[in-house]
Structure formats: structure tokens, C-alpha cells
Structure 1
Amino acid sequence: MLKEKRLGKYLPDTVLFEPKALWDHVRKYGSVILKPSGGGGGAGIIKLTRLKNGHYRVHSGHERKEIAGKSAVLAHIRSRFRPKPYLIQPYLSLGRINGRPFDVRVMLQRKKEGPWVVTGWLAKQAGPGFVVTNVARSRGKVLPLTAAVAKSNCKVSPELWDEMKEMSILVGERLGKQYPSLRMIGLDLGIDVNGRPWIIEANFRPSLSLFKKLPDLRAYRRIKRHRNQ
């Protein structure tokens, strides 16, 4: 996605895990997310926050632990790693609803030889005590996007909706060039408290079940129709 210059401002500063890169990111951002590359379902995601006097907080699943010293922190987080390469990103101050973070799932689809279109979007709210918004893992919930943003602490502009659609289409076009057979993308976006959208990740085998949880099933039916054409 970095090859598309217009997407650069939406991509968090992401590096591969190694100890020096971790401490550089922690020094720069204060709080970071470690996530497995190519992982799924929110598994293996760890939040690391710098505290005072050489102490750090590690948040994995619903467990928070305060640890003293970099060596002890490294040993602990490595014990939580899944057998995949890990990425490091700054922790984004995502919008919250009743104190729990949420992000956005955008469904992108295209027919053969056709353009990418947004066929649906929704909000995923993390369950109590979780960093990840994966609904199954955190026991969170699905909400209509406009309702979620209205309930959140985000300061959004009227232009946000068009900006997210345009950004999502750019992602589809960029990834479609790299993967010509790709027909569907479940794009996860974040909206920070200032109303700025961020690209979190792109899923190439997204489940439709999230859209079936919405009270209005029109998006679910539209996605299914588009997939079968």
C-alpha cells in the first residue's frame, strides 16, 4: 500500500519486530501494538506501554501486567508470541464508546474486470477489558457505523464518510494490482479521537457473519449478491 502515495498518510508507522525497533518505537510513541503478520481473529496482539522508572505495562487479551526492566519485558512478550513474524505499530488512540475502543470493517468487492466498490461497513466494539476489537475473541459487539460514531468520543467532520470510501477504493485498487485474482477485501480502519481515519489491516478472506449481526440486513444481502456475481 505504501506504493500508493495517497495512502501514506493513513498508514501507521510499521516495522518488523526486533528488540531495537521495539524500544525505538516505544521511545517515540510511548505505547505500541505488537501483532503477528498474517494473523487472524485478533490472536496474539499485545499492547506495550512505557510507564515511569523503567516499568512497562503489557496488555494481552484481558490481562494487564506491570513489568520492570527491558529484559523482563522482552522475555514476557516473546512468551506470548505466536509462531509468526511480528509487526510493531504505534498504538492509535481509537475512538471509544462507553470507554471501549471500536474500529470499522469496510467490505470491498469487485466483479471480474469491474471496479472496486464499497458494499458495506460497520463498527466493531471491543469487549470489556480488551484492546482488540475482534468480536469473537473479545466478546464485543457489532454496531451500525453511523450510530457507533454518533455515540463515540470522536470529533468527526461531515467529510469523513467520503474520505473513508475514497481511501478504501484506493486500497482495493492497489491490492488488486498486486493480487489480480482478488475479488473481496475486509478492510479494517480506525478512527482516532480527532476524527482521523487510519488503515489497520486488510483481510483477504473476510467473514460475512459480522454483517449478519446488524439489525438491518441490506448490506449483508448486497455483499452476498455481489459475491455470487
Structure 2
Amino acid sequence: MSKKPVIGILTWREGKRFGEPGYLRRLVTAGKRMGAETFLFSHQDVNTAEKKIRGFVPAKGGGWESRLFPWPEVVIDRYRKREDAYMRLRHGGVFQFANSPFGKKWRVTELLAKDDRVKRWIPETYVYAKGKVKAMLDRYPIVYVKPGNGTGGRSIVKISQAGKHFLIQGRDRRLQRRKASFATRDGVESWIQKWVREQRIRDGNFLVQQGLDLSLVPGRVADVRLLIQKNSAGEWEVTGSGVRLGETGSSISNLHGGGKAISFQSFVGKRFGPERTKLIQQECHRMAHEIASVLEEKFGRMMEFGLDVGVDVAGRVWLIEVNPKPGREIFRQMGDTRTYEEAIARPVSFALHLINSGQVQTKGGRKTGA
């Protein structure tokens, strides 16, 4: 009788405190349910010399318990901080990963903007430099300035022309709302220079991006979060999508910035009708498949992407951002339990596919596919 397949999940840990504990608890539970020995670990838990690894699993009654686990046959990387110790482990060749390291936001945007298969969906984007905001305001009525390594809507500002003035709305690093108004582009440029200096996230740069009119509901920003994942056959498949509707007057739609999760069909359908909505959704899915294919060619094997997609007031589809380690809470907040559970299970089912199809070299003589 063959042993259970062994799947490790690499994540940030401090004591028994983990990043995204709710999701990770569900991920480990899904692995167990699917017949795999599944556990969490961090870079400090690995003894490469003795091939030992300390792992963590949910404890009965809450919390976490730890013990030594067999060496994982495949590792799912959910580590979100680019810390030196993590980077050394990630690039050290000691594990077989389900997902490859990914590039910085600017590099990814630049790559997609140059690829004929996907460039039509990419808004004009530049690395921030003095004078770039003024130049973009000459061309577009809305311009965004955002960190190239940010998450959750932090440090993003929206600049829009309101009559003879320029209105700035945004959220700082602590997600506090910030507003300003200027009569000139020079005034905007000076304010943004200070913002970039003070609101920088770690050592990252900022991007200046063509703004999109995403106010399908007047005065509120809305965008689509689409999740595309590898399925149990190792093929890309759109798991689901939903709309994030920002608070009135907010420049972002993020759920922990006060946004609300709504079904794609009902929200987009109210604006464009059922036939047009179906075409818009088909384009979103086509874009997701094309982008996943392009990025996998560039970075190596990947297993999932969260796409932030803009549908503007004319019904045109745009890519706002790609996240290789996406959340999936939008489905839970929409009340779509089936999609939420599928979104959690798919990384494990893909890892099992890699083991059972012989795409990872197993240790200790366990026969793949047995």
C-alpha cells in the first residue's frame, strides 16, 4: 500500500501566528479531505542538511499544532513577503514548487503591454518619474498613481479633472482616506511627489496609469475580480468572478476598504443587459486565459491568478492588475459557497495532479500515480 502524497504549504509564520490563517486552515483541511498529508511551514522550519521539516496543522478546538513531517513532494508557495530568508529558500532548489516565482508589478505590466496577444487590454502605464503625471493628465481625464508592490488599495490615488480643478482622492498606507484639490497640473505634480516619498511601501516604486471610468454606478468605483486556476487535469479554468463595488466617494473598490461583493451577472446585467453582459463575460474569460498563458511562458509553471478587471462605462474590458497569490474571499462574501470551496480546493487538486502525473520527482521511492 502506497503512502499518502505529501504537500507542503510555504507561508509566513511568527510563533504560531500565520498570514491569512482562515484560508490556510481551509487549505490544509481540503488537502486532508483529498487524501494528502498537507501542512504549513515557513523558511525557519526547514533543516535541509537532515531533510527534516517542522510543519503545522489546525489543532482541535482552534490554534495550531506542530510536529515533524515527511519531506513534501510538492510545495504550494503562499509566502507574500519578499524577505531574504524566504528568497534564499525559494531559489535554493530544495523543493519542487507548484507555482514559480513571479515578477514585480511593473515588469509584468511591461511584459503584457508588449505582447500582441494581450496588449489591447492593458491601460497605458509608466514607472513614476517627475513630470509623468502632468503628461498623463494632458492625455486622460483620469490618472492613477499606485505602488508597484502594493496590495489592498494602499497608497493609491486617483486624479480626476473636475471642471477647472484637479481632484485627488486616495488611501494612504493605513487605508485612511486622503483628498486634495488643485487648480493647476503643477500643483498636482508637487503633491504627488510628496505622496510618492511618504507613502512608499517598503522599497518599491510607483506606477502612473491611464485612469478608467469604472463608475457603472454614479459616484462609485466598481471592478471585477476574476479567479483563474489550474484544475485537477492541470488545465487553466476560470473558477469564478464577482464585482467589487466601492463605497460612495471612495477611489478604490477593495473589500477591506469598505467595498461590497456582488454577482457579476446581476451587476453588469443591470447596466448592459443580458446579451451584452454575456459577451463582456466571454471577453473577460478569454483575456484571463491569454494572460495566464503569456505569464506562464515567461515565468514558468503557475497554478492560479487573480485578475482585477475593469469594465468601463462603454463596456470595454481592461486588465488592472494580476496577482499570482490571490485571495478568494469575494465568493464567500457573495454567498457563493460552492465556488468558494472549489477555489480553496483547486491548488491542492493541482498539486496532486503534478504528483500523480509524474511531473515532480518523488522522494523515498513512492511510486507516482500509485
TM-score (norm 2): 0.57
* Aligned residue in 1 for 2:189: 74
Q: What stretches of structure 1 of length at least 5 have no aligned partner?
A: none
Aligned-partner Cα distance in 2 for 1:136–1:125 = 11
Aligned-partner Cα distance in 2 for 1:97–1:30 = 18
Aligned to 1:47, what secondary structure does the other structure show? strand
Bigger-Rg structure (1/2) = 2
User: For residues 45-194 of structure 1, what are the structure 2 equivalents within 5 Å?
Assistant: 45-51=156-162, 55-61=165-171, 62-81=177-196, 82-83=199-200, 84-97=204-217, 99-110=219-230, 114-137=234-257, 139-152=258-271, 157=276, 158-194=278-314
**Change beyond 3 A, Cα 1:71–1:195:** closer
Stretch of structure 1 that moved more, 107-116 or 7-16: 107-116
Aligned-partner Cα distance in 1 for 2:279–2:216 = 20
Does residue 1:36 correspond to 2:151, yes or no?
A: no
Q: Paired residue for 2:134, among 14, 19, 23?
A: 23
Aligned-partner Cα distance in 1 for 2:300–2:232 = 10
Could you tell me whether the CA contact under 8 Å between 2:134 and 2:186 is conserved in 1? Answer: no
**Change beyond 3 A, Cα 1:212–1:155:** closer
Following TM superposition, by how much is the alpha carbon of 1:183 offset from its aligned partner in structure 2, in angstroms?
Answer: 1.1
* Aligned residue in 1 for 2:125: 14
Following TM superposition, by how much is the alpha carbon of 1:66 offset from its aligned partner in structure 2, in angstroms?
Answer: 1.1
User: For residues 187-202 of structure 1, what are the structure 2 equivalents within 5 Å?
Assistant: 187-202=307-322
Could you tell me whether the CA contact under 8 Å between 1:33 and 1:47 is conserved in 2? Answer: yes
Task: Tell me the percent identity.
Answer: 26
**Change beyond 3 A, Cα 1:129–1:39:** same
Could you tell me whether the CA contact under 8 Å between 1:127 and 1:140 is conserved in 2? Answer: yes
Question: RMSD across aligned C-alpha pairs, in angstroms?
Answer: 2.3
Aligned length: 227
Q: Which amino acid aligns with 1:60?
A: G
Could you tell me whether the CA contact under 8 Å between 1:95 and 1:193 is conserved in 2? Answer: yes
Does residue 1:221 correspond to 2:336, yes or no?
A: no
Aligned-partner Cα distance in 2 for 1:45–1:156 = 34
Could you tell me whether the CA contact under 8 Å between 2:328 and 2:340 is conserved in 1? Answer: yes
Aligned to 2:135, what secondary structure does the other structure show? helix
* Aligned residue in 1 for 2:39: none
Following TM superposition, by how much is the alpha carbon of 1:76 offset from its aligned partner in structure 2, in angstroms?
Answer: 1.9
Q: 1:169-222: CA deviations, max 9, x gaps?
A: 001111112222421111010101111110000011111222211222111111
TM-score (norm 1): 0.89
**Greater relative contact order (CA < 8 Å, ≥ 6 in sequence):** 1
Q: What stretches of structure 2 of length at least 5 have no aligned partner?
A: 1-111, 172-176, 350-370
Could you tell me whether the CA contact under 8 Å between 1:96 and 1:153 is conserved in 2? Answer: no
Aligned to 1:114, what secondary structure does the other structure show? coil
